[in-house]
Structure 1
Amino acid sequence: MKYSLLLASLFFIVSFQKSFSQENNLDGIIPEIIKKNGEKFVKSKNISSVSIGIYKDGRVYTEHFGEIVKGKNNPPNDNTIYEIGSISKTITGYLVAKAVLNKKIKLEDDIRIYLDGNYPNLEYKGVPITIKHLITHTSGLPTFLPSRMNGLYEKLTKEVPNEYLALEKSYDKEKFLNELTTVSITTEPGIHYLYSNSGAELIGCILEKVYHKSIDELLKENFSDTFNMSATTIKLDSLQSKNLVRGYWMDSETPAPNNLNPLWGTAGGIKMTITDMMRYIELQLDDNNPIVSESHKALYEIRSPLQIGYYWRIWKDKYGTSYNHHGGTSGTQNWLFIYPKYNLGISIITNQSGPKTPKLLNKTAQKMLKELIKE
């Protein structure tokens, strides 16, 4: 009996020491992984700065490299606020998942029941667009409204940021809903994947309708107040605005203007710090949160092994089932990866935007993942 107790005690001590050693080992390794990859990233062509965050087993590691403004020697920090672009859609997806669980909406609801006015065009041969179609990009709605935005970013000219800003200045929610009456749906909803910012903005309109609150009020209630994500918002206050980054489009030496977001902001209008992003990762790794579980459900298969949930891109490979999304504006780009199998999340944000930036972000994040898993 005494011998058994002695063995059990020794096993506990060795296990604890091993666990403690591994934990402290990661505390040394992860910052080194971030440093090596961050320094390499900012040496890439046109890159000005990058912020990298890793969440692993309840611990947060963040580091920043380069200059926010070229030649100013002003690196970003944990208080730097970024436009996160389309990663906003995953936050919108969380709000939609909550609305579903709260029985405010149903995935199979015809979206027209939440819209004032007459929209006979939002169907194809009697098949209506549903909530599910909006959050899986299978509605058949165009990529952008106003329609003049479609194809703008494909031009890759230096005028793009200012042309985009001019279109934003000329548009608002009323004009969006009016133009929505003119949209033609040419394929059956739910069949074909077509990435749609206009659909993601429309879901913002619906969320405001069912909750009788603005999107910023919903963000404050569900993220700022609940998870201490104080900079997660669309409209910044005057103090926060001083920390908002302006980034660079293509090879421009002049910072691009920030987006105005005259619509609901649910497609790409949310701002965050890297610290808020780490708290968001922690939330996304909470298996006990029913809203997170709902938002991670696969609702449509784009192509094996890629599926889509409540806006999340769901990927299955040797790293298990993971969740990711890319986001970009004319001045920033970022990529977010969630790996539940390893209780791990990676966020990488740069204040540079161009056609090669997504690949560079992805490649850097995947390299860090492999190094982390190896360790």
Structure 2
Amino acid sequence: MGRDLESIVQEAAGGLAAGRSSAVVGVLAEGRTEIRGAGPGAPDGDTVFEIGSVTKVFTALALARQVVAGTAGLDEPVRDLLPAGTAMPAREGREVSLRHLAQHTSGLPRLPKGATWQMIREFPNGNRDPYARYGDATILAGLADTRLRSLPGARFRYSNLGAGLLGLALATRAGTDYATLVTEDVCEPLGMTRTSLGEPVIQGHTRRGRPTPPWNMAALAGAGGLRSTAADLLTFLQAQIECREEAIGLSRRTEHRVNPLQAVQLGWMETLLHPKIGGGRRVWHNGRTGGFASYVGFDPERRIGVVVLSSTARSVDGTAATLFRTLAS
């Protein structure tokens, strides 16, 4: 890496903030961390953003922790964790397991029954909280009318419904709610003090730059409800890179191969990169809500981690990719 780490991170944050709103960029490289923010509100490493689907890796780690503790099994049917009488769909006699939910191989649709049309119709007209109506009872009742699109375990089909159902099922088994589950099973053990379902402390904006209220993911919180900071997320990445805990190791070595270059672990996506764009292996997840965009990823061999948070709902993946290339050069 020919340039100093501080200038690389500051340039990335400033570039993101220009033309959108506030942004924070954090990197883990050369055995140290660097965080810089830019934009209105002087954001920094402790500024809380919605992280959207990055939440899924927290939910998956909560699953791994329960598996290691012996209170859940990767191949345990989801119906065993849900309230009695819940009609969990199956296909050709094959049931959906916890592993399937964490790896998006359950066959469940991307969204709850009836949600696709509702969200398309209402979101542009002012409904800035499209998941709020989907409480526990609504989600569980809707499963009776939900058809699996493929055999459980057969193929990768990204599903917010599946990831949210995993969080709900794990919390039900633990006798608590999702917020408590993720705090006790993931955040507290790792020393992450600012990650929760609490409100973001910075204003979110739509893709066009209009202020928009926070999202309430309700029963699907395990799919995208968490808020966090760059500092907390770098702590999370450090734990992933070191991989000293049994639960983290389990979440990383449990994979479903999507194609020769892509796999899904428990929660994480994994991509093998062509040498022309730096090569190596990248483990990552991104996220987007009505007012925020996020990216969290790492290269386990090079021990490089990248966090990008924006208070505008436009993808930050390009900035993350550029950072990885710069840090690896």
State if a TM-score over 0.5 links the two structures: yes
Deviations 1:323-372 (Å, cap 9, x if unpaired)?
1001110000011111111211001111111xxx32xx222112122221
- Residue in 2 that maps onto 1:284: 240
> Which structure is larger by alpha-carbon Rg, 1 or 2?
1
Instruction: Figure out how many residues of one structure are paired with residues of the other and give that number.
Output: 325
Match of 2:173 among 191, 194, 210: 210
Whether 1:266 aligns to 2:222 is yes
- Residue in 1 that maps onto 2:115: 149
Deviations 1:117-144 (Å, cap 9, x if unpaired)?
3355511111111111111111121212
Gaps of 5+ in 1: 1-24, 68-73
> What amino acid is the match of 1:163?
N
Deviations 1:189-233 (Å, cap 9, x if unpaired)?
112322111111111122113222322222322344322211111
Deviations 1:95-123 (Å, cap 9, x if unpaired)?
11111122222222221122223355511
- Residue in 2 that maps onto 1:181: 144
Is contact 2:59-2:182 (8 Å) kept?
A: no
- Residue in 2 that maps onto 1:29: 4
- 1:154 and 1:373, CA in 2 relative to 1: closer, same or farther beyond 3 A? farther
Is contact 1:110-1:131 (8 Å) kept?
A: yes
Q: Secondary structure at the match of 1:53?
A: strand
Is contact 1:215-1:264 (8 Å) kept?
A: no
- Residue in 1 that maps onto 2:26: 53
Is contact 2:132-2:217 (8 Å) kept?
A: no
Aligned ranges 1:188-227 → 2 under 5 Å: 188-227=151-190
> What amino acid is the match of 2:115?
M
Gaps of 5+ in 2: none
Distance 1:109 1:222 in 2: 19
- 1:251 and 1:130, CA in 2 relative to 1: closer, same or farther beyond 3 A? same
- Residue in 1 that maps onto 2:311: 351
Q: Secondary structure at the match of 1:371?
A: helix
- 1:132 and 1:53, CA in 2 relative to 1: closer, same or farther beyond 3 A? same
- 1:38 and 1:205, CA in 2 relative to 1: closer, same or farther beyond 3 A? closer
Is contact 1:52-1:64 (8 Å) kept?
A: yes
Deviations 1:292-350 (Å, cap 9, x if unpaired)?
11111242122221000101001223543321001110000011111111211001111
- Residue in 2 that maps onto 1:77: 44
Aligned identity (percent) is 21
- Residue in 2 that maps onto 1:244: 201
Is contact 1:298-1:314 (8 Å) kept?
A: no
- Residue in 2 that maps onto 1:294: 250
Q: Secondary structure at the match of 1:245?
A: coil
Is contact 2:12-2:25 (8 Å) kept?
A: no
Distance 1:86 1:43 in 2: 24
Distance 1:155 1:192 in 2: 29
Whether 1:329 aligns to 2:302 is no
> What amino acid is the match of 1:209?
T
Distance 1:289 1:368 in 2: 28
CA RMSD of aligned residues (A): 2.3
